Structure 1
Amino acid sequence: MLQDLFMALSSINDYLSIFITWAFVVPFLYNFASTINCRNKHVMYISLVMMLSYTFSLFMFKASFILTGSIYLDLVIADLLTIFTLVRLSYNYKHANATAYYYLILGLTFNAILHMAMHYDYVVLVSYDYWWLWGVYGVGQFSSDLLMAIVLIINKDILGLVKIKKFLFSSQLLQKTTQNK
């Protein structure tokens, strides 16, 4: 069943790429319009970074402009550059990080891991037969991209990731303070 889904997704890959790119254009336009009179434009800036990243990736691969000889390795590089840009932008920004920022970092990291796994499987191991990783890649990447686009619009912690982050960091701080006493 997962094999059929992956094959269906790969047959409409061009359309999905365009859809996902538009899925990042819409949050940018929404956030641009909704933050015109606001001081905190963090979500608008990170939406801009995501829109530019995905638009550049779409044009890069439509023009067959591949840097490393492997499309998956190029996607890893693009994801890491986007993560670096988001972290740098948020580090220099005076307001607190938006909820969407954490979802973008996690989603791009997840995508980079999937791209690296596909690069290893396809280029290093030279595997051309379908197996479960290909299905996880097809469904996982699309779901991650769609979730990131949705969170950019609503800017809500829909999976509880920020709550988990706060809990983990607060428990580490408590452990450090009790150990110092």
Structure 2
Amino acid sequence: MTISEAIGQSIGAFILWGFLMAFLYTLVSKINKKDKGTIQLAFIMMTSYFLSAFLDYETVTLIDWATYDVLTIGVIIVWGVLIKKPKPIAFMYLIVGLSINACLFFAMYYDIYVLEQTEVWWLWTLYAIGINVVDLLMVLVLIINKDFLGLVWVCNQVKARYMHRASALK
């Protein structure tokens, strides 16, 4: 195992620990509240990242990680359809965060396995930093459940403009 692989596994363990702590925090802080949406999302993310820890780092490829993120997005979307209550702010952040991660995995897969790129360039740096920053942001949003990047606000603004234009065309 190279030093970069060891660092990657250590960061992965830290992120897994973060999702575990986010789940435990939401469980303790929201257990007596009516809305359990954030607890359920934190559980989904903790379970997803926990199960991914059992993947064999020797044989797993970037396409496997991308597929795993897409499956997690699917589980979150199904959860969102099944609940009848308004979705927590974390819902949008998790969908966007996992989508970014999946896109980065797909891009790296294409670069390494299809284009057979062997020299480090900006995409590799973007991947290394992006995956970890997005994971940390997802942990953070599960803990604080606030729209700290304005993502939900922007989505609501776009949706309102789209609905306004759609109703004007009728």
TM-score (norm 2): 0.94
Distance 2:21 2:29 in 1: 12
The reply on whether 1:48 has 2:38 as its aligned counterpart is no
State the 1:129 CA deviation.
1.2
Cα distance in 1 for partners of 2:111, 2:163 equals 40
Query: Would the aligned equivalents of 1:9 and 1:138 in 2 still touch at CA under 8 Å?
Result: no
Which of 98, 109, 117 aligns to 2:107? It is 117
Conserved 8 A contact 1:28-1:47? yes
Q: How far did residue 164 of structure 1 move?
A: 0.4
- Partner of 1:59, secondary structure, is coil
Specify every segment of 5 or more residues in structure 2 that has no aligned partner in the other structure, as ranges: none
**Which residue of structure 2 lines up, in the alignment, with residue 131 of structure 1?**
121
Residue 132 of structure 1 and its aligned partner are, at CA, apart by 0.8
In structure 2, what residue type is equivalent to 1:154? I
Q: How does 1:25-174 map to 2 (within 5 A)?
A: 25-62=20-57, 64=58, 66=60, 71-174=61-164
User: CA 1:121–1:65 in structure 2 vs 1: closer, same or farther (change >3 Å)?
Assistant: closer
Q: Which runs of 5+ in 1 are unaligned?
A: 1-6
Question: Which amino acid is 2:120 matched to?
Answer: Y
The 1-side partners of 2:135 and 2:5 are apart by 16
Is the alpha carbon distance of 1:159 and 1:8 closer, same or farther for their aligned partners in structure 2, counting shifts above 3 Å?
Answer: farther
- Determine the C-alpha separation between the residues in 2 that align with 1:142 and 1:175: 38
CA-CA distance at 1:35 after TM superposition? 2.1
Identity %: 36
RMSD: 1.6
Runs of 4+ in 1 over 2 A off after TM superposition: 7-11
Which string of whole-angstrom CA distances, capped at 9 and with x for unpartnered residues, describes residues 121-172 of structure 1? 1111121211111000000000000000000000000000000011001111
Distance 1:127 1:81 in 2: 27
Cα distance in 2 for residues equivalent to 1:159 and 1:8: 33
- Once residues 65 and 93 of structure 1 are traced to their aligned partners in structure 2, the CA distance between those partners, rounded to angstroms, is 37
Q: Distance in 2 between matches of 1:157 and 1:61?
A: 35
Match of 1:20 in 2: 15
Question: What CA distance in whole angstroms lies between the structure 1 residues aligned with 2:32 and 2:72?
Answer: 27
- 119-128 or 98-107, larger mean C-alpha shift: 119-128
Paired amino acid for 1:167: Q
How many residue pairs get aligned? The number is: 169
